Amino acid sequence: MTDLYQILGIPRTASEADVKKAYRKLAKDLHPDRNKDNPRVAERFKEISAAYGILRDPEQRARYDRGEIDEQGNERGFAGAGAGGGGYSRAYRRSGPDEPFDMDDASDIFSEFFRFTGGRNAGKGGKKTGGGARSARGKRASAGTGEQRGLDITYEITVGFEESITGGTRRLRLSDGRAVDIKIPAGIQNGQVIRLAKQGGPGMGGGPKGDALVEVRVAPHPYYHREGLDIHLDLPISIDEAVLGGDIDVPTPRGRLTVRIPKNSSSGRRLRLKGKGVIRGEDTGNMYVTLKIMLPSERNEALEKLMQEWPGGGGKTLRRKAGLA
| Pair (101, 194) in one structural domain | yes
Look up the pTM and report it. Answer: 0.54
| Pair (150, 43) in one structural domain | no
| Pair (57, 107) in one structural domain | no
Q: Residue 174, Cβ neighbours under 10 Å: how many?
A: 20
| Pair (28, 4) in one structural domain | yes
Q: Residue 28, Cβ neighbours under 10 Å: how many?
A: 12
In a domain, 8, yes or no: yes
Among 220, 241, 276, the domain boundary falls at: 220
In a domain, 182, yes or no: yes
- When pLDDT is cut at 50, 70 and 90, the band that residue 135 belongs to is low
Q: Which domain holds residue 289?
A: 224-299
pLDDT digits (tens, 9 = 90+) for 220-233: 898 999 999 999 99
In a domain, 316, yes or no: no
Among 114, 113, 128, 121, which Cα is nearest to 178's?
121
What are the residues whose beta carbons fall under 8 Å from the beta carbon of 65, sequence distance 6 or more? 12
- When pLDDT is cut at 50, 70 and 90, the band that residue 325 belongs to is low
Is residue 156 a contact partner of residue 130, using CB atoms and an 8 Å limit?
Answer: yes
Phi, psi of 271 (to 5 degrees): -105, 140
| Pair (63, 119) in one structural domain | no
Mean pLDDT along residues 291-318 = 83
| Pair (115, 200) in one structural domain | yes
Strand-pairing partners, residue 249, are 258
Query: What torsion do the CA atoms of 299, 305, 308, 314 make, to the nearest 10 degrees?
Result: -50
Average pLDDT, the chain: 77
| Pair (41, 105) in one structural domain | no
Mean pLDDT along residues 12-18 = 92
- When pLDDT is cut at 50, 70 and 90, the band that residue 118 belongs to is very low
Q: Is the pLDDT of residue 210 over 60?
A: yes
Strand 179-184 relative to strand 255-261: parallel, antiparallel, unpaired? unpaired
Query: The CATH number of the domain where 52 resides is what?
Result: 1.10.287.110
| Pair (38, 137) in one structural domain | no
Phi, psi of 284 (to 5 degrees): -135, 130
pLDDT of residue 84: 34
Cα angle vertex 249, ends 248, 250, to 5°?
115
pLDDT of residue 106: 37
Query: What torsion do the CA atoms of 124, 126, 130, 132 make, to the nearest 10 degrees?
Result: 100
Query: The CATH number of the domain where 106 resides is what?
Result: 2.60.260.20
3-state secondary structure 207-228: CCCCCEEEEEEECCCCCEEEEC
Order of strands across the sheet with 270-273?
224-227, 230-237, 287-293, 270-273
How many Cα atoms are found within 13 Å in the side-chain-facing hemisphere of 30? 23
pLDDT of residue 145: 58
Strand 212-218 relative to strand 152-159: parallel, antiparallel, unpaired? parallel
| Pair (6, 41) in one structural domain | yes
| Pair (239, 209) in one structural domain | no
Query: How many domains is the chain built from?
Result: 3
In a domain, 258, yes or no: yes
Q: Is the pLDDT of residue 9 over 60?
A: yes
